[in-house]
Amino acid sequence: MKTLVSLTVNGVAHELYVDTRRSLLDVLRSDLGLTGTHRGCDSGDCGACTVLRNGLPVTACLALAADCGGDEVLTIEGLAVGGSLDPVQQALVEKGAIQCGFCTPGVVMNAVALLRENPRPSELEVRQALAGNLCRCTGYVKIVEAVLSLQEAA
């Protein structure tokens, strides 16, 4: 069964007929071509598919697209403005916090959500905000350092 869903993704309004069983992740990647949001575990455990839905981080693999009608969705592609990286993206690059990059979009989206809510988080708050993002390469130290470096500019 299909339903009409109207949602705004990265500031662009979309109206799509979607199967009621499809995830937001499927719609973002397959229908809208936004492949920066990664498919990892497909069960909400790894955080690679994290996007901001109405300003809050959600795992897109667990959100049904049909339930997102009227929502504002921000993906990793929506962060860079005018060819410039978002400050979180830039900090991760500068601090050497990116290795294979598979987890990076989800990490960035959770960090962005945290910093919007709390521009001066403690190390514990950063670690808690990123607890749902699994990274097999970095050991998290440089990721946490990168996010903490942004509070100095806040």
| Residue 145 predicted with pLDDT over 70 | yes
Domain architecture of the chain: domains with CATH: 2-78 (3.10.20.30), 87-151 (1.10.150.120)
| pLDDT tens-place string over residues 25-44 | 999 999 999 999 999 999 99
| pLDDT tens-place string over residues 3-15 | 999 999 999 999 9
Q: Tell me if 129 sits within 8 A of 113, measured CB to CB.
A: yes
Tell how far CA 83 is from the center of its chain.
18
For residue 141, what is the enclosing H or E element?
A: helix 141-151
pLDDT of residue 151: 86
For residue 59, what is the enclosing H or E element?
A: strand 56-59
d(CA 30, CA 20): 15
pTM, two decimal places: 0.95
Closest residue by Cα to residue 48 from 36, 56, 33, 65: 36
pLDDT of residue 153: 56
